[in-house]
Structures are given as C-alpha cells and as structure tokens.
C-alpha cells in the first residue's frame, strides 16, 4: 500500500500526554479523540494537516502512558504514517495492533524537512522524498508483525485465528 502527503516534523520524546492529554480521555470515541490530537504540542495541528499527511519525529516517539487513544487520535485525525528515529515500545505495539502505519528510519527522520512531499511504499518500507529527490529505507518488520499489518491489525488477525481454531 502506498501513502503520500506532506511532512509535519515533531521533536524527540513526544509523549502520549501531548498526543492526547488525559483531560480528553473521559471518552473513547475515536472522532472525539481525533479533534484534540497533538493539542498540547501545537494547538492548530488538526486544522493544519490534510488527510494523508505524515508525521516525522525524532527519538522515542509515543513514550509515557499506554493509552491506545494516542495512535487512534493520530490515525483518525488523518495522518497516514508516522516516521520516527525510534518509537517507545507500547506505542509501537499499539500502532501495529490498531493498524496505524509506522516506520523507523533515522535517515528519514534527519533528512526530511517540514513541508516536504513524501510518497511511502508501506510494504517495502521505502520512503521517497519527492521535494528533495531522495529515497530512504525503513527498518523491516519481522514477518509476524508484517502479517498483523497486512491483516489490518490484531483484531482481524485474532478473529481469523479463532475462526480457524473452531474449524
């Protein structure tokens, strides 16, 4: 699957409290959560981005709380992929489980500038920077995670598994 959009750069150690502050966690409605995505980092974030745009972060993206509301808010706000130098582990796991595409690439994180037009082949982990005419390759997922991603997340994967178990 290919996604494309404009790059929005964010810094190191972006924690899940700034991605979706706890004061909005008294609901689990994805559309409601998406309204406040990144509000404590940049209060105009959701109005600035267009569907398909890509977040490009530094190290340890998604650190802190295990709230799955964070990747949900990002996904439903319209972000098609998050690229980071590194991800915090619970966020990494949650993103894969809910089907938010994420890619780890130090090179992409460093070279992409805000506003660059990107085109990404998610299956290959190939990131093309159209603006700068550069290509970066993200770390490949292990086969099990690739399977999870292809099936659209852990729920679909498990449903299939449970279904198979019943046959």
If you search the block for the tokens 């991800």, which residue do you land on? Answer: 87
Rounded distance, CA 38 to CA 40, Å? 6
Beta bridge partners of 83: 56, 103
The answer to whether residue 117 forms part of the interface with other proteins (CB under 8 A) is no
In 9-142, which ranges are continuous DSSP H helix? 16-19, 30-34, 45-48, 69-77, 89-98, 106-111
By CB under 8 A, residue 13 contacts other proteins: yes
Q: By C-beta, is 137 or 158 nearer to other proteins? A: 158
Under the binding rule (CB under 8 A), the answer on residue 106 touching other proteins is no
Position 40 contacts other proteins (CB under 8 A): yes
| 68 scored as a contact of other proteins (CB under 8 A) | yes
Is position 128 an interface residue for other proteins (rule: CB under 8 A)?
no
User: For the residues of 36-66, what is the DSSP string, one character each?
Assistant: TTTTTT-TTHHHH--TT-EEEE-SSBTBS--
Say if strands 2-9 and 117-121 run parallel, antiparallel, or are unpaired. Answer: antiparallel
Taking CB under 8 A as the rule, does residue 164 contact other proteins?
Answer: no
Task: List the one residue from 65, 80, 109, 129 that touches other proteins (CB under 8 A).
Answer: 65
Select from 35, 52, 64, 128 the one that contacts other proteins (CB under 8 A).
64
Report the SS3 class of residue 63: strand
Decide: 140 and 105 in contact? Cβ < 8 Å.
no
- The correct pick among 3, 25, 106, 128 for binding other proteins (CB under 8 A) is 25
Interface residues toward other proteins, by CB under 8 A = 13, 15, 17-18, 21-23, 25-28, 40-41, 59-60, 63-69, 71-72, 86, 88-90, 93-94, 97-98, 142, 144, 153-155, 158-159, 162
């Amino acid at each position: 699957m290919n996604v494309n959009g404009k790059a929005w750069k964010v810094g190191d150690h972006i924690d899940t409290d700034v991605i979706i502050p706890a004061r909005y966690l008294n609901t689990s409605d994805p559309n409601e959560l998406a309204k406040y995505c990144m509000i404590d980092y940049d209060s105009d974030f959701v109005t600035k981005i267009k569907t398909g745009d890509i977040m490009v972060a530094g190290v340890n993206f998604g650190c802190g709380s295990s709230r799955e509301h964070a990747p949900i808010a990002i996904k439903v706000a319209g972000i098609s992929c998050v690229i980071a130098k590194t991800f915090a582990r619970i966020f990494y796991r949650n993103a894969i489980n809910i089907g938010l595409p994420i890619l780890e690439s130090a090179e992409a994180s460093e070279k992409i500038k805000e506003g660059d037009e990107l085109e990404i082949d998610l299956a290959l982990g190939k990131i093309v920077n159209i603006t700068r005419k550069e290509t970066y390759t993200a770390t490949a997922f292990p086969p099990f995670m690739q399977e999870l991603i292809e099936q659209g997340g852990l729920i679909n994967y498990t449903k299939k598994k449970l279904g198979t178990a019943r046959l």
